[in-house]
């Protein structure tokens, strides 16, 4: 795609999306980096010194990398097979099962960590039941933190895999089935075609895991994110914090590069026909898929919820807290809906552009999105304050709910762009070319040919953006207007100094509030598919 070949409408729409992306996502980080470099004395010597990590910091960075890689691997190993099962196996009550399997993503990671702590701590439920501490050495470990985060994030891989497999052309699989067993077809034909989406999800999970400090802190795993956090929360040094975030961003870039090498050409547009053949079913694995789904549901949803419900059973004044949270719940649902919709509105054009540009530019876009998404939320929050807390028209936005939406855009447009980029790559450019030959304008081709083919990708990106926006805390607490609140802000400002029962009850409340609309959405989609 060259600028010369762009229609005026196409150029205008893509330029508008690009500008929105630059203003909302790139500027806050650019502002913070500029500020750090500009205020560094002695020709930037302190910047260089901060980047030369000492032995302790290198160990922390290694821990973070292991945590991210382990979580991405674990979540993919759990999520990708489930995605295959949802896409290609005739499972009973599939709509309900899908919604239930997405539900762990709705539990804030910190809450999932808390549930496993109540269960596997040295005086947890297991220790009390068996009469001795058998689990805590494992619970308080890098492996334990990896396990917990994998259980939270596997639905991302599952959704990405399912959406990708629904786009795979069944004809190549049918041809392969004539000479190979289903397992070999899945491994050699089906999964490689879904590799871009699975890889994008794994990258997203890696970034989410290395950005986490709540679960590692809870399970006493030392990670590099805490160094960035310490610079903010203990030393109040914005510049040091921004500089210390750079090693995390470098790791993210390296992992993106490794993923690109591993997946190779498959990260590039697949110019195959789509919907040309009916997707092959792998119903021979139905029983195994059902058992595996139930096991995952048990570990990732039933056990944590049961533990939280057990802990919450001792709560005394929960009803009063729920009553006091009405405004926060309404605010959160409204802002997350607006935020997710705007995120997808911008990201869909970015994803389209990424799918249609050259391989090199596409990879640069992937790296940029991963870096932006890996940027600590506090860096984004402080950047937004610096940019928007100004006199005049710009300053009129600051101190309003719009700042929360801007925070969601800054943090989550890159994620949605990654997801949608992978999705658009399954739509052959020849479809648009054919529409153009038939006289359709670019916008018409997009509206009636491209967007309908990526509707599941759009729905996935919207769902992910909604969940992430609904749970956002780090940037929100810095830019929320005085007197206004979101549910996570309210909950996390209440749980300081409350008994564990109340903390567990509030965690259940947060999960329930976000679960209801998403469950309705998921079941609605399932019913429509059945019809």
Partner 1 sequence: MAGLWIAVAGAACRSVDSAGDSEPTVTVYVSTDRVFSEPVLREYEQRSGVRVNAVYDTEETKSTGLANRLLAEQNRPRADVFWSNEPVRTLVLKSRGVLAPYRSPSAQGIPDALVDPESYWTGFSARMRVIVYNTTLVEPDGAPQSIFDLADPTWKGQVAMADPRFGSTSFHVAALYTRVGNAKMDDFFRKLKMNQVRVVEGNSVVRDLVARGEVKVGLTDTDDVNVAIEDGQPVAMVLPDKEGLGVPMMPNMVSLIANAPHAEQGRALIDYLLSSDVEQMLADSEAVQIPLHAGVPGPENIPAIDSFKPMTLDYAAAASRVEDATMRLASILEL
Chain residues in the site for partner 1 (CB under 8 A): 16, 56, 110, 121-124, 136, 213-214, 217-218, 220, 222, 226, 229-230, 232-236, 238, 334-335, 338, 341-342, 345-346, 378, 381-382, 385-386, 389-391, 395-402, 405, 473-474, 477-478, 480-484, 489, 492-501
List, in sequence order, the alpha helices (H) in 425-499: 429-437, 442-445, 451-453, 455-471, 476-479, 487-494
Cβ nearer to partner 1, comparing 192 with 214: 214
Closest contact distance (angstroms) between CB of 384 and partner 1 is: 9
Closest contact distance (angstroms) between CB of 155 and partner 1 is: 24
Residues 252, 260: Cα–Cα separation, whole Å = 12
Closest contact distance (angstroms) between CB of 16 and partner 1 is: 8
In 39-81, the DSSP E strands lie at none
Interacting residues of 90 by C-beta distance below 8 A, sequence separation 6+: 281, 283, 286
Residues 113, 372: Cα–Cα separation, whole Å = 26
Closest contact distance (angstroms) between CB of 478 and partner 1 is: 5
Cβ nearer to partner 1, comparing 360 with 391: 391
Cβ nearer to partner 1, comparing 159 with 491: 491
Residues 388, 152: Cα–Cα separation, whole Å = 34
Closest contact distance (angstroms) between CB of 493 and partner 1 is: 4
> Which among 426, 434, 433, 435 is positioned nearest to 458, based on CA atoms?
426
Cβ nearer to partner 1, comparing 227 with 366: 227
Closest contact distance (angstroms) between CB of 423 and partner 1 is: 18
Q: What is the phi/psi pair of residue 121, to 5°?
A: -65, 170
Q: How many C-beta atoms lie closer than 10 Å to residue 257's C-beta?
A: 14
Cβ nearer to partner 1, comparing 174 with 401: 401
Cβ nearer to partner 1, comparing 85 with 374: 374
Cβ nearer to partner 1, comparing 66 with 197: 66
- The DSSP code sequence of 154-220 is HHHHHHHHHHHHHTS-HHHHHHHHTTS-HHHHIIIIIHHHHHHHHHHHHHHHHHHHHH--HHHHHTT
User: What's the token pair of residue 358?
Assistant: 């050259």
Cβ nearer to partner 1, comparing 91 with 417: 417
Closest contact distance (angstroms) between CB of 463 and partner 1 is: 17
Q: What is the phi/psi pair of residue 235, to 5°?
A: -110, -10
**Residue 132 C-alpha from the chain's centroid:** 38
Closest contact distance (angstroms) between CB of 490 and partner 1 is: 8
> Which among 86, 117, 114, 115 is positioned nearest to 100, based on CA atoms?
86
Interacting residues of 137 by C-beta distance below 8 A, sequence separation 6+: none
């Amino acid at each position: 795609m060259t600028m010369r070949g762009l229609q005026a409408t196409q150029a205008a729409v893509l330029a508008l999306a690009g500008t929105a992306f630059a203003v909302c996502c790139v500027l806050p980080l650019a502002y913070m980096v500029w500020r750090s470099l500009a205020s560094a004395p002695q020709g930037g010597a302190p910047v260089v010194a901060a980047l030369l990590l000492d032995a302790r910091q290198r160990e922390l960075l290694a821990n973070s990398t292991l945590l991210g890689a382990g979580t991405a691997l674990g979540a993919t190993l759990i999520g990708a097979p489930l995605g295959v099962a949802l896409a290609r196996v005739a499972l009973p009550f599939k709509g309900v099962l899908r919604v239930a399997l997405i539900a762990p993503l709705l539990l804030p990671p910190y809450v999932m960590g808390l549930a496993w702590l109540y269960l596997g701590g040295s005086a947890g439920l297991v220790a009390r039941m068996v009469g001795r501490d058998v689990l805590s050495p494992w619970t308080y470990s890098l492996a334990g933190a990896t396990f917990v985060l994998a259980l939270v994030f596997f639905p991302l891989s599952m959704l990405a895999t399912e959406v990708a497999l629904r786009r795979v052309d069944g004809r190549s699989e049918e041809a392969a089935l004539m000479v190979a067993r289903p397992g070999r077809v899945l491994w050699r034909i089906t999964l490689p075609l879904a590799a871009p989406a699975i890889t994008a999800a794994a990258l997203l999970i890696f970034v989410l895991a290395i950005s986490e400090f709540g679960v590692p802190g809870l399970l006493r795993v030392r990670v590099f994110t805490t160094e960035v956090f310490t610079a903010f929360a203990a030393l109040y040094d914005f510049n040091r914090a921004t500089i210390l975030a750079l090693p995390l961003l470098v790791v993210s870039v390296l992992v993106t590069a490794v993923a690109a090498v591993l997946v190779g050409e498959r990260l590039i547009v697949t110019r195959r026909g789509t919907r040309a053949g009916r997707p092959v079913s792998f119903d021979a694995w139905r029983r195994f898929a059902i058992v595996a789904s139930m096991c995952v549901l048990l570990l990732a949803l039933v056990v944590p919820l049961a533990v939280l419900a057990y802990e919450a059973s001792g709560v005394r004044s929960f009803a009063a807290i729920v009553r006091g949270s009405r405004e926060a719940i309404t605010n959160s649902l409204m802002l997350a809906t607006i935020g997710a919709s705007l995120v997808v509105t911008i990201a869909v054009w970015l994803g389209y552009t990424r799918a249609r540009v050259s391989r090199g530019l596409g990879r640069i876009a992937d790296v940029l999105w991963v870096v932006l998404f890996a940027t600590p939320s506090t860096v984004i929050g402080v950047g937004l304050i610096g940019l928007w807390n100004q006199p005049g028209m710009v300053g009129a936005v600051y101190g309003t709910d719009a700042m929360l939406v801007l925070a969601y855009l800054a943090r989550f447009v890159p994620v949605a762009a990654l997801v949608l980029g992978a999705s658009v790559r399954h739509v052959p450019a020849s479809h648009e070319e054919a529409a153009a030959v038939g006289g359709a304008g670019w916008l018409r081709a997009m509206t009636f040919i491209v967007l309908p083919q990526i509707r599941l990708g759009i729905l996935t990106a919207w769902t992910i953006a909604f969940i992430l926006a609904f749970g956002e805390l780090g940037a929100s607490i810095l830019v929320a207007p005085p007197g206004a609140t979101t549910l996570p802000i309210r909950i996390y400002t209440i749980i300081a100094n409350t008994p564990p029962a109340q903390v567990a009850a509030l965690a259940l409340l947060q999960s329930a509030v976000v679960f209801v609309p998403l469950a309705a959405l998921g079941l609605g989609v399932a019913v429509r598919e059945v019809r």
